[in-house]
Amino acid sequence: MTAGQGQTGRSLPRPNARRLLQGKGRFVADKVLPRMLHAAFVRSPYAHASILGIDLTTARAAPGVVAAWDGAAIAAHVTPFVGVLTHMTGMKSPPQPALAVGTSHWQGEPVAMVVARTRALAEDAAALVEVDYDPLPPVCDVEAALAPDAPLIHPALGTNLCWERRIDAGDVDAAFTLAAHVVERQFVFGRHTGVTLEPRVCIYDYDASEERLTLHYSGQVPHMMQAVLARHLGLPEAQVRVIAEDVGGSFGIKIHTYGDEIATAVAARLLQRPVQFLADRYESFLSDIHARDHRVTARAAMGPDGRLTAVEIDDITGIGPYSVYPRSSAIEGNQVLNLTGAPYVIPAWRGRLRVVFQTKVPTCQYRGVGHPIAMTVMEGLMDDLAAASGRDPADLRAINLIPDDAYPVTSPQGVLFTDLSHQACLTRLKDLMDYDGLRAEQAALRKRGIHRGIGLCSMVEITNPSPMFYGVGGAPIAAQDGATVRLDASGSIQIGSSVTEQGQGTETVLAQIAADVMGVDPARIGVTTGDTATVPYGGGTWASRGAGIGGEAMRAAAEALKAQVLAVAGAVLQVDPSALNLAGGAVVDRAGQARITLQALAQMVYYRGNELPPGLAPELIATRHFRVEGMPFVFSNGAMASYVEVDAETGFIRLLGHWVVEDVGTILNPMLVDEQIRGGVVQGIGAALFEECLYSDDGQLLTVTLADYLVPMAGEMPDIAIAHVVTPTRTSALGAKGAGEAGTTGAPAAVMNAVNDALRPLGAKVSQMPMTPERILRALGTVP
Amino acid sequence: MKIAMTLNGETIEAEVEPRQSLVDFLRGLGLTGTHSGCEHGVCGACSVRVGGQVVRGCLMLAVQADGLTVDTVEGLSQSGEIADLQAAFHRLNALQCGFCTAGMLLTAQDILATNPVPSRADIREHLSGNYCRCTGYQAIVDAVAEVAVERSGG
């Protein structure tokens, strides 16, 4: 690596946060384009219904209305999408129209749209659209959906099963027969959703004179959206521009293809005017993807020495009526299969996954994607085994965690791990939280009738994925990212990247990396992200890859620009470039003396090229791309603990403390890494304790406002202590792994184990999330 | 209906529909620093100050602000009233996406006006009507606590 200038590794505050603090954000809903119209959607009130007719006459005549279309009219201008990845053999999902045509498959599915001068007028007119529905039987429960006589959601598929996968490795049956201890448990994970504070929003602007479509985008993946729009609207990709400026939270929610947004694109194209769609909160709950909704039956076997001998799981998950395009909705269950037990040495492993269609909101990738389920299941089994064998939960983990010197390791599921540090993280965690002291405090308080619990979680997180995630399955999703670094005549540096910013601090970290290589103050670096017209082609932000992949591309691009600068300097100064370096905004010699400033050098190249030797290219710009090679994924790992108090009278849970030790490899900006972890932990706590998309038996969503759907607020959250173990990944020179989903991955398991640790002396156990007071009281037998 | 108000120190007059919320009215004037999050009075993203009190811009109609003084994050930024809070939020990264931030700043300014030396629990309680999906709240609490110390001469 280059001689560092000390910018990476430093807790540099984010320069781009200043304007957000002044109320000067540039969110999509803040933009007003000339002649812009607003869309509102008519959504199915039934979970499942035939659409016999749609009458738009009255709506079209309403004040301010410019146009109204039903699903069939929109479908004439956009091809349907199919959310299937070809490498997931046997996966099925039918073509999905932008708006429902003929049949609606979930309550909230858009069936018609109205475009008017204002959103209020569009909503007024949408209420005048008359839809004649004939209700069909809802298919809500996943087990019932697979029954032989179940109504088929998509008769053409002949089944409600989207995908099934089995893994069988080692002699599982023998391990269970011979085990000293066997534990078994059924876990239920409710549906929840991302609840980005800024709802989904888009503005589509179609310029007929140039046949050019521009999307003002609130999301994470501009190039994917460019490809999706071009494919399905029949436009050349070069005629589609996607611009993402400020994004008010995304977390995976805004990474998918939504029919209402695609219909907005169609409307803009047909009307040749900009059209905005801004979901209100009610629509968000009914149309943003949901996540989780898994039932997992799991068992584990252990020998007399405390070592795991086998694990078996059976996961059934409901994904709504369509696999979501283009990432597919089978990934979450696949992660549960791939990652349950990942931190441990497990000789024999068996699992089955069934991904099932149902008439609820579609589910897809949301922060953590399957990880919280895999960790909760395995960590729950570990605590059950500890209780069954009378061992301390931390000791039992230490016996079974993969030794830190054992890598590379391939799991029974076939997943390759390397550069991990489970043992070191657990040791550091016990120290950070004063594990022994807390156990003593817990025991003392139990004698006074105070029920406190300590919960642990050892975990892995998939980060920095290779093309093996999506690209291999035919999705237009890049696993590589690119970076451009440019030295301008003023001596300032301009950088651009295909990874995107939603507040994580991506732009800041990229500037730190470039600053180190170029030897300049990060304040002299301008950053561009999020615009397909100006940044290199790449995957964007997902799967905790921005810093690891985008950062490595930035490092390589900056190194290439540095080589150009030193070549020019060497020629001008008559010095071997290898004797020169960059520091303090200048080219310096071995003694560290400045020989020529970057500004002077750049001005010579750009203004007075005649002073340069013949043949030296007048360019001070470099672009490099990076993808992970040799491994499908780069894993990070960590250990977490939660300390809670359960009120056995009310079922209320108080969070007293939360500790995280995380190994994200090289840490580029400690403050930003820790804030990713903290925010993720609190989302995980939301899943564990509060958040649930509750449905009635006939498929009506009961939680459609923030008054019904509980999210974590400041009053209930604990302070979160964080420490690090640093094992750089060998897949990049930078050595950075991802950090974005670690908190959400581990927190639910830690909290559930803590709650059950508190309940254990009372003979109660809870295995369903969220762990509401009612469910605690039911576990205690207080309520039936 | 015709209304008049003192908005960020300037007297304005406007014609509004009776059904228009205060937050939509303000955003329509280009004051887009105030956001609409849940339209149900829960999330606090639309917080503005009316007559010195922090209120939910989604639960108040624009016509109800007739004759009153209204302050938004733009006004408080320009006057410098919350400059120390903004600096502390920046230093400690007490925001990520920035969508909740205007509401957080106004609510933080409110607690420091009424309780100059709040405990962390006080701060958490006072901010408990403002939803932030990104930070997990701790950095926000840290920032408000730091400014409390600074302002009280600590």
Residue numbers in A near B138 (CB within 8 A): 678, 717, 719-720
Interface test with A, best of B134, B140, B146 (most A CBs within 10 A): B134
Rounded to whole angstroms, the Cα distance separating A375 from B144 reads 35
Residues 44-63 of A with CB under 8 A from B: none
Rounded to whole angstroms, the Cα distance separating A275 from A257 reads 17
Tokens, residue B26: 């303000």
Residue numbers in B near A63 (CB within 8 A): none
Contact criterion met (CB below 8 Å) for A380 and A769: no
Q: Which run of H or E residues covers position A395? A: helix A393-400
Give the sign of the dihedral formed by CA A669, CA A670, CA A675, CA A681: positive
Overall average pLDDT of the A183-207 stretch = 98
Residue numbers in A near B108 (CB within 8 A): none
pLDDT in tens, B113-141: 999 999 999 999 999 999 999 999 999 99
Cβ neighbours of residue A394 under 8 Å, at least 6 residues apart? A426, A430, A435, A456
The residues facing B55 across adjacent strands are B48
pLDDT in tens, B48-97: 999 999 999 999 999 999 999 999 999 999 999 999 999 999 999 999 99
pLDDT in tens, A387-419: 999 999 999 999 999 999 999 999 999 999 999
- Taking Cα atoms as reference points, which of A192, A194, A119 lies closest to residue A502? A194
Q: What's the pLDDT score for residue A703?
A: 98
Q: What's the pLDDT score for residue A468?
A: 87
Q: pTM of the full predicted structure?
A: 0.98
The residues facing A165 across adjacent strands are A353
On the 0-12 / 13-18 / 19+ scale of CB atoms within 10 A, A784 is exposed
Give the sign of the dihedral formed by CA A385, CA A391, CA A392, CA A397: negative
The residues facing A647 across adjacent strands are none
Interface test with B, best of A11, A21, A500, A682 (most B CBs within 10 A): A21
pLDDT tier for residue A5 given thresholds of 50, 70 and 90: low
Contact B99 A24 (CB under 8 A): no
Rounded to whole angstroms, the Cα distance separating A574 from A564 reads 15
On the 0-12 / 13-18 / 19+ scale of CB atoms within 10 A, A270 is middle
Give the sign of the dihedral formed by CA A315, CA A316, CA A317, CA A323: positive
Q: What's the pLDDT score for residue A3?
A: 37
- Taking Cα atoms as reference points, which of A525, A536, A528, A514 lies closest to residue A490? A525
pLDDT in tens, A381-394: 999 999 999 999 99
Q: Calculate the CA A501 to chain-centre distance.
A: 13
Rounded to whole angstroms, the Cα distance separating A572 from A577 reads 10
Rounded to whole angstroms, the Cα distance separating A320 from A538 reads 30
Rounded to whole angstroms, the Cα distance separating A255 from A242 reads 13
Q: What's the pLDDT score for residue A7?
A: 92
Residues 90-119 of B with CB under 8 A from A: 90-93, 95-102, 105
Is pLDDT of A564 > 80?
yes
Residues A603-632 as b or e (16 or more Cβ within 10 Å = b): ebbeeeeeeeeeeeeeebebbbbbbbeebb
Q: Calculate the CA B117 to chain-centre distance.
A: 20
Rounded to whole angstroms, the Cα distance separating A376 from A766 reads 12
Torsion, Cα A28 A30 A33 A35, to 10 degrees, reads: 110
Contact criterion met (CB below 8 Å) for A51 and A75: no
Residues 483-512 of A with CB under 8 A from B: 502-505
Strands A181-193 and A768-769: parallel
Is pLDDT of A4 > 70?
no
Rounded to whole angstroms, the Cα distance separating B92 from B144 reads 10
- Which SS3 state, helix, strand or coil, does residue A660 take? strand
Is pLDDT of A2 > 70?
no
Is pLDDT of B108 > 60?
yes
Q: What's the pLDDT score for residue A456?
A: 98
Residues 247-286 of A with CB under 8 A from B: 247-251, 280-281
pLDDT in tens, A675-732: 999 999 999 999 999 999 999 999 999 999 999 999 999 999 999 999 999 999 999 9
Alpha helix (H) residue ranges in A505-624: 506-518, 551-573, 598-607
Contact A717 B90 (CB under 8 A): no
Contact B136 A196 (CB under 8 A): no
**Phi and psi of A292, rounded to 5°?**
65, -130
Q: What's the pLDDT score for residue A729?
A: 97
ipTM of this predicted structure = 0.98
Q: Calculate the CA A80 to chain-centre distance.
A: 25
Q: For chain B, how many residues are written? A: 154
pLDDT in tens, A168-177: 999 999 999 9
HEC-encoded secondary structure of A119-164: HHHHHHHHCCCEEEEEECCCCCCHHHHCCCCCCCCCHHHCCCEEEE
Residue in the block written with tokens 């938004």: B72
Contact criterion met (CB below 8 Å) for B77 and B86: yes
Q: Is A682 on the interface with B (CB under 8 A)?
A: yes
Percentage of chain A exceeding pLDDT 90? 98
- Taking Cα atoms as reference points, which of A611, A722, A716, A737 lies closest to residue A666? A737
Residue in the block written with tokens 């016509």: B63
HEC-encoded secondary structure of chain B: CEEEEEECCEEEEEECCCCCEHHHHHHHCCCCCCCCCCCCCCCCCCEEEECCEEEECCCCEHHHHCCCEEECHHHHHHHCCCHHHHHHHHHCCCCCCCCCHHHHHHHHHHHHHHCCCCCHHHHHHHCCCCCCCCCCCHHHHHHHHHHHHHHCCC
Q: Which run of H or E residues covers position A436? A: helix A435-447
Percentage of chain A exceeding pLDDT 70? 99
Q: Is B57 on the interface with A (CB under 8 A)?
A: no
- Taking Cα atoms as reference points, which of A30, A21, A8 lies closest to residue A503? A21
Contact criterion met (CB below 8 Å) for A725 and A529: no
DSSP state of A760: G
How many CB atoms are closer than 10 A to CB A663?
29
Edge to edge, the sheet with strand A653-663 lists A451-463, A634-646, A653-663, A720-724
Rounded to whole angstroms, the Cα distance separating A163 from A333 reads 10
Residue numbers in A near B95 (CB within 8 A): 17, 20-21, 503
Q: What's the pLDDT score for residue A575?
A: 96
Given phi > 0 = left and psi -120 to 50 = alpha, else beta, which region is A369?
left
Residues B2-24 as b or e (16 or more Cβ within 10 Å = b): ebebbbbeeeeebebeeebbbbb
Q: What's the pLDDT score for residue A1?
A: 35
Rounded to whole angstroms, the Cα distance separating A769 from A380 reads 13
Residue in the block written with tokens 């994607």: A369
Give the CA count within 13 Å in the CB-facing half-sphere of A43. 22
Instruction: Find the distance separating the first CA and the last CA of chain B, reported in whole Å.
Output: 49
DSSP state of A609: G
Which of A195-204, A249-258, A540-549, A766-775 is least confident?
Answer: A540-549
- Taking Cα atoms as reference points, which of A567, A162, A65 lies closest to residue A363? A162
Rounded to whole angstroms, the Cα distance separating A324 from A368 reads 17
Q: For chain A, how many residues are written? A: 784
- Taking Cα atoms as reference points, which of B45, B29, B39, B31 lies closest to residue B105? B45
For residue B80, give the chain A residue with the closest CA: A22
Contact B136 A30 (CB under 8 A): no
Alpha helix (H) residue ranges in A294-356: 331-339
Mean pLDDT, chain A, integer = 97
